[in-house]
Structure 1
Amino acid sequence: MAVETRRPAYLALLETGELERRVEAAWARLAACDLCPHACGADRLRGQEGFCRTGNQAVVASTGPHFGEEAPLVGRSGSGAVFFGRCNLRCLYCQNYEISQGGEGRPVTPEVLAFLFLALQEQGCHNVNLVSPSHVIPFILKAVALAAREGLRLPLVYNTGGYDAVSALRLLDGVVDIYMPDFKYWDAATARRLSGARDYPAAARAAVLEMHRQVGDLEIGPDRVARRGLLVRHLVLPGGLAGTREVLAFLAREVSPATWVNLMGQYRPCGRAMDHPPLDRRPLPAEFEAAEAAWRASGLRNRLG
């Protein structure tokens, strides 16, 4: 089993009963769902599916040790990834398109989800990495409460597309140890066209600020594995669609110049990207060089890669 040197945040809330109160508060919000900025009002308690196409159970596509994540999460033993099916975004170019929009995965109860968390711990993973969790927060909270009573001691990673409601994130305050959001776009029209969320830039700004308020800058242990804090991912898109310069300047100016950023250059056309130029091509070398120059000019100090 993985040996962690920092006590995960959720144990303190479990001991005081606050974790159960968070579960109840999150579950109540499913009756007229407002867990993400879409606030579509679906009665998910009765099985109605909202924008995320998820009702009263989380859908899990796959779980297991993952070695393709950011190095501070992977360490030597891997990050314990739980890939949730469906999504609260409709990214045309999603690399997990079959999972996020194609319907792959199976519904699971919180009890099964808790078992999956514990199984990742038994496999020696450094953390439980919740991939695309924004629309399934109540089920995650319930599973964490169940698993913690059975010995779960791994830190939780909230690995999100960045389209999160601050009010929902507050349910996770003291539960999540590491936030790893994407910050996809700076321009609202681009966000609407490519991901179906016109208010994405404003929502992502508010969400990242709340995440940083909760956990602060990223802390990495002597084993080079992250223990707590914020790590922001930004995918460089072809044609400057991501607004990289503005995103990085915001992180340095409004969040913290010590914010860790993964400036990602691995974009490739997936999903429906081939029908939406310039998403039908990879970024040009000059485009990624411009993104790197924007990082150097931003005032940020910490970058992966």
Structure 2
Amino acid sequence: MALVSVHKWEEPCISGKNGAGTVFFSNCNLKCEFCQNYTISAQGYGISVDVARLAEIFLEQQQKNVECLELVTPTHYAPVVIEALKRARAAGLKLTVVYNTNAYESIAVIDQLSTYVDVFLPDLKYFDDAAAQKYSHAPDYFHFAAASIKRMVAAVGPLVMENNLMKKGVLVRHLILPWLYKDSIKIVEWLWSTFGDKIYISLMSQYTPAYNAAAFPKINRKLTTFEYQKVVDTALALGIKNCFVQEKSASSVDFIPVFDGSGVLRGKMQKQGNTKSV
């Protein structure tokens, strides 16, 4: 694990007033060449904990009066996460559980999670499989991501909102990439034709070239206003109501967390090392 902190920069229906108690897991089942969090996703920096400590971490977030418990990229630790959630629930965890994922999931894992997860927060990255392979090394990405999002919607049921906070439902994020706004338009059209207003959509403009982006000239720059607005205009033309948009100022390294292991261990900090997924 790389960081446990209160995160206040999520969509308003997730972070609300008090923020999300966010748990960042090390490693990732994608290999995105532009990942902003590459120190933990690709290089694997983090601290190893057992299931008992993970359950404690979940309960500690509840004591911070946060709006929800947000698990970031936990898929490759799913069996441990499920056991920790089971223990935390038995010990009094009442927080809404948000599962933040890249959508490259298996149906079996989603089915196992459905008892413990209230809100799925998938990031649907690509419609075009060639782009998915080139930039994230993810064969058949859209096939698996589309199927997993459909199962997520079926698993949690209709949207439930309380005081402008999502208590049940699916919020699909999409990060628009340079030169790929037409791919993004296809994603927006697919989401609308498939789910209508049964889900929320978040169109993100925050792309900042990082990690190996310099090796790919087309994505080695920030998004233009034109590219982002074309995608937003598509959502408006379709009549999508449950949609978040993002200010261009969000495209900054200032919003990338410092992955220093804070909150992972009780008491004294411990130097980070490389972790391996289970």
TM-score range, shorter chain: 0.7 to 0.9
**CA distance in structure 2 between the aligned counterparts of 1:112 and 1:152, rounded to whole angstroms:** 14
**CA distance in structure 2 between the aligned counterparts of 1:209 and 1:301, rounded to whole angstroms:** 20
1:129 is aligned with what amino acid? E
| CA-to-aligned-CA distance 1:147-179 (integer Å, 9 cap, x gap) | 112111111101001111111101112221000
What displacement does 1:228 show?
0.8
2:88 is aligned with what amino acid? A
Question: 1:77 and 1:257, CA in 2 relative to 1: closer, same or farther beyond 3 A?
Answer: closer
Give the match's secondary structure for 1:252: helix
**CA distance in structure 1 between the aligned counterparts of 2:196 and 2:78, rounded to whole angstroms:** 26
Aligned to 1:49: none
2:233 is aligned with what amino acid? A
**CA distance in structure 2 between the aligned counterparts of 1:142 and 1:163, rounded to whole angstroms:** 21
What displacement does 1:240 show?
1.3
Alignment length (residue pairs): 245
Partner of residue 115 from structure 1, selected from 56, 61, 66: 56
**CA distance in structure 2 between the aligned counterparts of 1:84 and 1:274, rounded to whole angstroms:** 26
Question: 1:165 and 1:241, CA in 2 relative to 1: closer, same or farther beyond 3 A?
Answer: farther
Aligned to 1:271: 211
**CA distance in structure 1 between the aligned counterparts of 2:187 and 2:197, rounded to whole angstroms:** 13
Partner of residue 109 from structure 2, selected from 168, 175, 178: 168
Structure 1 moving runs of 4+ over 3 Å: none
Question: 1:115 and 1:268, CA in 2 relative to 1: closer, same or farther beyond 3 A?
Answer: same
What displacement does 1:242 show?
7.1
Aligned to 1:91: 32
Give the match's secondary structure for 2:2: strand
- Report if the CA contact (8 A) 1:67-1:74 is conserved: yes
Partner of residue 300 from structure 1, selected from 226, 237, 240: 240
Matched, 1:280 2:220: yes
Aligned to 2:83: 142
What displacement does 1:258 show?
3.8
Aligned to 2:67: 126
Q: What is the Cα-based RMSD across aligned positions, in Å?
A: 1.3
- Report if the CA contact (8 A) 2:181-2:228 is conserved: no
Q: Which sections of structure 2, spanning at least 5 residues, go unmatched? A: 246-278
**CA distance in structure 1 between the aligned counterparts of 2:8 and 2:51, rounded to whole angstroms:** 26
2:135 is aligned with what amino acid? L
Aligned to 2:251: none
TM-score (norm 1): 0.77
Aligned to 2:177: 237
With 251-260 and 179-188 compared, the bigger mean Cα shift is at 251-260
Aligned to 2:193: 253
- Report if the CA contact (8 A) 1:160-1:182 is conserved: yes
Partner of residue 103 from structure 1, selected from 24, 44, 61: 44
Query: Percent identity, aligned pairs only?
Result: 34
Matched, 1:188 2:97: no
Aligned to 2:258: none
- Report if the CA contact (8 A) 1:217-1:260 is conserved: no
**CA distance in structure 2 between the aligned counterparts of 1:217 and 1:288, rounded to whole angstroms:** 29
- Report if the CA contact (8 A) 2:181-2:227 is conserved: no
Matched, 1:225 2:165: yes
**CA distance in structure 1 between the aligned counterparts of 2:173 and 2:193, rounded to whole angstroms:** 17
What displacement does 1:123 show?
1.0
Give the match's secondary structure for 1:129: strand
- Report if the CA contact (8 A) 1:190-1:241 is conserved: no
Aligned to 2:231: 291
**CA distance in structure 1 between the aligned counterparts of 2:170 and 2:161, rounded to whole angstroms:** 11
What displacement does 1:194 show?
0.6
What displacement does 1:111 show?
0.4
Q: Which sections of structure 1, spanning at least 5 residues, go unmatched? A: 1-59
- Report if the CA contact (8 A) 1:263-1:303 is conserved: yes
**CA distance in structure 2 between the aligned counterparts of 1:142 and 1:241, rounded to whole angstroms:** 40
Give the match's secondary structure for 2:171: strand
1:112 is aligned with what amino acid? R
**CA distance in structure 1 between the aligned counterparts of 2:97 and 2:243, rounded to whole angstroms:** 22
Question: 1:218 and 1:270, CA in 2 relative to 1: closer, same or farther beyond 3 A?
Answer: farther
**CA distance in structure 1 between the aligned counterparts of 2:216 and 2:46, rounded to whole angstroms:** 27
| CA-to-aligned-CA distance 1:74-103 (integer Å, 9 cap, x gap) | 112110100000000000111111110112
TM-score (norm 2): 0.85
